[in-house]
Structure 1
Amino acid sequence: MVAIESLPEMTEAEVAAHAEKDSLWCIIDGVVYDLTKFADEHPGGDQVLVEQAGRDATEPFNDVGHSADAKEMAKEYAIGRLKATPGAAKAPAAQSKPAAAGGCGASFKDIMTSPTWTNFLIPTAVGILVFVLYKGVQRLL
């Protein structure tokens, strides 16, 4: 595995040119990853990665709460470092803040299809509802 510091620098424009499933690059914490080969193996499905392709996916990656193993495994897909450009370093953070504000600025669709809702909260709520209904029917019998 190559040290991150020794990887070549890349611009956001270079990363943006790889925003499709057959050429899927993402930026996470200033490191550029080529996730093309990993997309079919991603536990959350390839669509999650395709939605973030060609851009900074730091916030969505961290919001999901990936394990230390997942973060370590990601290193093998690192292909570059994001080139720091004056003025541009603050723009992505400013654009991503509204979506992180717990719904302030995030659309209803974004909230309902976020990995937190679809992979944890909704199935948990459905499970609780089924349990309560089951117990209610048992008491009637």
Structure 2
Amino acid sequence: MDQIITLEEVKKHRRKSSVWMVIHNDVYDVTSFLEEHPGGEDSLLEVAGKDGTQGFEDVGHSDDARELLKKYKIGSLPPQQKTSFIQDCSKLKWAVLALAGAIVLGFVIKKAMNK
């Protein structure tokens, strides 16, 4: 069974001597990977002690990188602290759609008022 690690505990590990991060609700200790990371240690230190899911997905890591990540897994977040990356993206999608709808509606009303 996975070790349960809280976000509060993860936040304590954001120094070069101890770098933990969360990716897809799993906790990773990447301290020993700092010097090997192809993107440089700064990209890992940037998300040390935080949820790095968005950045990890934005970069588009390869299947090999995802496989390598498993080596550094030390636990998972407790159920009440887990988030859904897909759910977060879905919320953003709806916000963008609502904004686009409001802009279109604004143009339609403006056009109607000018007639």
Given the two structures, how large is their TM-score scaled by the length of structure 1?
Answer: 0.58
Cα distance, 1:29 vs. partner? 0.3
Question: What CA distance in whole angstroms lies between the structure 2 residues aligned with 1:23 and 1:31?
Answer: 17
User: What is the CA-CA distance between 1:89 and the residue it aligns to?
Assistant: 4.3
Within 5 Å, give how 1:74-93 maps onto structure 2. Answer: 74-85=69-80, 88-89=81-82, 93=88
Match of 1:20 in 2: 15
Q: What residue is the counterpart of 1:58 in the other structure?
A: 53
RMSD of aligned Cα (Å):
2.0
C-alpha distance in 2 between matches for 1:57 and 1:84: 18
**Gapped runs of 5+ residues in structure 1?**
1-5, 102-141
Q: Where does residue 28 of structure 2 map in the other structure?
A: 33
Q: Which residue of 2 aligns with 1:133?
A: none
Give unmatched runs, 5+ long, in structure 2: 97-115
Aligned residues: 88
Look up the SS of the partner of 2:27 in the other structure: strand
CA displacement 1:44-83 (0-9 Å, x = unmatched):
0000000000010000000000000000000000000011
Shift, 1:84, TM fit: 2.1
Q: For residues 60-114 of structure 1, give each alpha carbon's deviation from its aligned partner in whole angstroms, at most 9, with x where no partner exists.
A: 00000000000000000000001122xx546x959xx6xxx8xxxxxxxxxxxxx
Higher relative contact order (CA 8 A, sep 6+): 2
